[in-house]
Structure 1
Amino acid sequence: MNTEDDKQTVLSTLPKDLPLDFLKTITDQFSDNRVIGKGAFGTVYTGTMPDGQTIAVKKLAENAPIARDRIFNNEVQNIMAYRHENIVKLVGFCHEGQKKVVLNNGRYIVADVYEGLLCYEYLPKGSLQRNLFDKPIDMAWDVCFKIIKGICDGLHFLHSIPLIHMDLKPQNILLDDNMTPKISDFGLSRLFGKEQTRANTQNVVGSYGYIAPEYLYRGEISTQSDIYSLGLLITETTTGEKNTPKQNEPSAREFIERVRQNWTEGHIASIYQLNPNALQEVTVCIEIGLECVDVDWKKRPSIESIVERLGRCCANLVSTTSMRT
């Protein structure tokens, strides 16, 4: 039974409705010098709070692929009350109208124009995309494996709600100081009913190279849509190779086939022959990644089985280490 103290504790963890003027102040009027990321859905700035803490402030774009209000509602409603180590934390938001002079049917009129802003915990290491491909760093395999496990744990949590992310890709995985991954950008997410397993849409929006074929071509949405994208994330993180679809080609088949042909057991063994732990983990991750991108969604593994397999891999290594000591 909940007490008033319990309710107060829960309420104190919920994000805050912040004034637009306050967000302008902490971002130096949305200065270009504070930009840390840009995407189809908006621009992200660093904001310095009065106590010195840094947060990330996303200013939603007016010309986003889907309506700005829908993005705002998805982000706030779908992740506002949830807390998980591998899900980015929403710490504030703003939906505030301002009087602006706009051109409408050849006439200038004064209208209320609403800004949508979302504030998150600041993650200094940036995105997985940045660390793997844009400004690559030499990540040891144990760090890569930690990232893969964290992404899978985060997705397991989302699918238990059930919440479908719909836009898993390296740009939407953020890393903290300890290289702990956090799933971000819930603008396309879909919240299902407890008994709901599938949905259909005619408005297909997403990132080429990561969209599941049944969603891309038939508008079918399910947890298995995320599993397809997860498979590509796992494969990219494991191999360090970028999934780059050709221009106007939404499929990742060329990348998938290249990995299937090149990352054989013999190839993996030639790289990790002196590290049996890594050899086992890399082999399992390649297997899982390729299973996840099966064209037939029914043949893809569930997130529960993926988490179990990765956990079993770790347990086997612990057992082997114990036998040696």
Structure 2
Amino acid sequence: MFEADDGEYADADEDEITIVESFQFNFDIVRAATNDFSNSNKLGQGGFGVVYRGKLPDGQMIAVKRLLKDSSQGDVEFKNEVLLVAKLQHRNLVRLLGFSLEGSERLLIYEFVTNKSLDYFIFDPTRKAQLNWQKRYDIIRGIVRGLLYLHEDSRLRIIHRDIKASNILLDDEMNPKISDFGLARLFVIDQSEGNTDQIVGTYGYMAPEYAMHGQFSVKSDVFSFGVLVLEIISGHKNSTNIGHGNDVEYLLSFAWRSWREGKAQNMIDAALNNISANEIMRCIHIGLLCVQENVVDRPTMATVALMLNSYSLTLSIPSKPAYFYGSGTRSLQDMELWAGNIGSTTSGESVNHASNTDPYPR
């Protein structure tokens, strides 16, 4: 959850109250806008609540997040999301318009983003054809810009902690917008990491140091981004079994083995027809650098942006990623098993080394 640390941000109570009051919507107006939260207006559902399409009296379209009454996101987290997102302004972040409170009802009102979320397209056999490589590449770069803003360019340093395909919304031009800041963590600008006893987020996208020990940093978001990049390129969920018979494995395992064996082209979604193969290979390379087990080895988002924008920059050879065997909510026994698997991995295994003319294994 979002937590304010010591410093000027934690003490600005009066400013926060002013912001909250200026963003408050009348509950009855919002309820009418969604036709009393009708199923026909339902856009989706996440861990904290249901999202509905709505239309205000002036004709403006909105997305309304109705928090579950038994949600683990309490009043403090609700207020934090309002205050946090209200301070963020970037074209690759979903814009918060306001909130509404009525008894036990808590609503967040966002700009309406036309084309649903990335997972709606990228994991659907038919709809994924709408995302050619140029669109997928632009989505990757837009996510990078949004994360770079959160990590370094806004006046606050923010770790999202739940970067995943369903939290990337697409506008009418398929530009990505990072959404859902209910789990975000605010830092003062010179702080870069923290610890928590409450592990929140989505397994499969979680960095191992966070899932196992509650340690998080900007590199936790980098790990999640790396998983997302590999999903965008392959069209496979990180939890999907890839392969046949006894040769089934999960996405990170498959990506690493394919890379190490010089068969990284096997990662590419067949819908892309290997168009811009060299550019795709570079993105696979970047994705693998982001999901490395060792936190220090992962690049920052600033470095990722440089990697994407400068082809003259030579990329280092990735080490073995942290694997995740499974999906959904995991039991402690499952997590301990995963910890054992992580502990047995090494980063010293050889990979296909690059030549000067073609730096990506084929």
Match of 2:265 among 265, 268, 290: 268
Which runs of 4 or more aligned residues in structure 1 lie more than 6 Å from their structure 2 counterparts after TM superposition?
269-274
The separation in 1 between residues aligned to 2:274 and 2:27, in whole angstroms, is 56
Whichever structure has more strand as a proportion of its residues is 1
Match of 2:123 among 125, 133, 141: 133
Deviation of 1:130 (Å): 0.5
Partner secondary structure for residue 123 of structure 2: helix
The separation in 2 between residues aligned to 1:266 and 1:273, in whole angstroms, is 15
Deviation of 1:274 (Å): 7.6
Q: Within 5 Å, which residues of 2 pair with 1:256-295?
A: 256-262=252-258, 266-268=263-265, 275=275, 278-295=276-293
> Are the equivalent residues in 2 in contact too, given 1:162–1:191 (CA < 8 A)?
yes
| Residue 141 of structure 2: aligned partner | 149
Deviations 1:87-145 (A, max 9, x none): 00101211233xxxxxxxxxxxxxxxx32111111111110010111463301100000
Where structure 2 has 5 or more consecutive residues not aligned to the other structure, the ranges are 1-17, 242-248, 314-362
The separation in 2 between residues aligned to 1:274 and 1:116, in whole angstroms, is 47
Deviation of 1:74 (Å): 2.9
- The one-letter amino acid paired with 1:84 is H
Q: Within 5 Å, which residues of 2 pair with 1:42-191?
A: 42-64=49-71, 66-97=72-103, 114-134=104-124, 136-138=127-129, 139-160=131-152, 161-191=156-186
Deviations 1:51-104 (A, max 9, x none): 22211000011222x33323312321111022101000101211233xxxxxxx
The separation in 2 between residues aligned to 1:68 and 1:29, in whole angstroms, is 23
| Residue 320 of structure 1: aligned partner | none
- The one-letter amino acid paired with 2:230 is T
Percent pairwise identity: 39
TM-score, length basis structure 2: 0.72
> Are the equivalent residues in 2 in contact too, given 1:208–1:245 (CA < 8 A)?
no
Structure 2 CA distance for partners of 1:167 and 1:274, relative to 1, 3 Å: closer
| Residue 108 of structure 1: aligned partner | none
Deviations 1:265-315 (A, max 9, x none): 65539988984xx22221111011111111111110010000011111499
Matched length: 279
> Are the equivalent residues in 2 in contact too, given 1:172–1:185 (CA < 8 A)?
yes
1:197 aligns with 2:192: yes
| Residue 351 of structure 2: aligned partner | none
The separation in 2 between residues aligned to 1:274 and 1:287, in whole angstroms, is 16
